[in-house]
Structure 1
Amino acid sequence: EDIGIRLIKMRKLDGELVMIPAGELRVFGNLSIEFVRIATEIDVSYEQDIDQLTRALTDVAAEWADAHREILLDETPEVQSIVRMTESTIKLRVVARVSPGEQWAAERALLHLIKKRFDERGIEFPFPRRTVYLRNEPEAPSREPLG
């Protein structure tokens, strides 16, 4: 926002104003020179066929790439099959390099298209769930009411 001799003022994305004394500046890397990488993770359920999901995600990524050639810096996004397994989901990931400043809109458009195409194919997104096992224990003796 402002660079002075003694103080640098920067505003974060959430609106917070950060003030840094010029004497405390250090050399650091710029993460958005030439390109920004988006890595969009998608949660799917264990019941889904992983090969079918990977193919569907690859199709969606290619469709998204065709619609975003002006900001996409790779030929096609990289679809990474299983990148993590949690207690209730399998995570897949789509990675792409885009022009700096375009990453947020690009990722929102990708997520929108994934949801739309997965709905059309009947691919469901999982909800958190737990499996509960009940033990078969003998019933406690009933108590007679006092009185």
Structure 2
Amino acid sequence: MAFNLSVNGATHSVDVDGDTPLLWVLRDVLGLTGTKFGCGAGLCGACTVHIAGVATRSCLTPIESVGDSSVTTIEAIGATPAGSALQRAWLDLEVVQCGYCQPGQIMSAAALLRETPKPSDADIDAAMAGNVCRCGTYQRIRAAIHRAGA
């Protein structure tokens, strides 16, 4: 079945089954491999993208449910004020260890900063609770979000 998607400001036509997860359309069909597969159950946050500005787990989102909504991935989040500030803070504070979870972390953090420009620790903990970092860089992630919001 053919679907038209708006991804990172460009329109793409894809021919996939309607129940195909957005994650696989992004990675396998469109070649946008920044969004990662983690658990496939929406529990780890590695696959987080923005759909109409809302942080969404792409591994659980069937392509047919996206409709006309715009999708933003880690490849384009740096073009937004929050995304750019986060990427700078991530580098300045050396947040990354293995890096696998970082696209999802940044996407969730960007959605938080868009809604709450100067979040408290409690705001950050609540917004980031669904993003798992096996390396345990949570304190640096929190510090980077605070810096980006400053």
> Is TM more than 0.5 here?
no
The structure in which a higher percent of residues are helix is 2
Q: Which has the larger radius of gyration?
A: 1
The structure in which a higher percent of residues are strand is 1
Give the TM bin, normalised by the shorter chain.
under 0.3
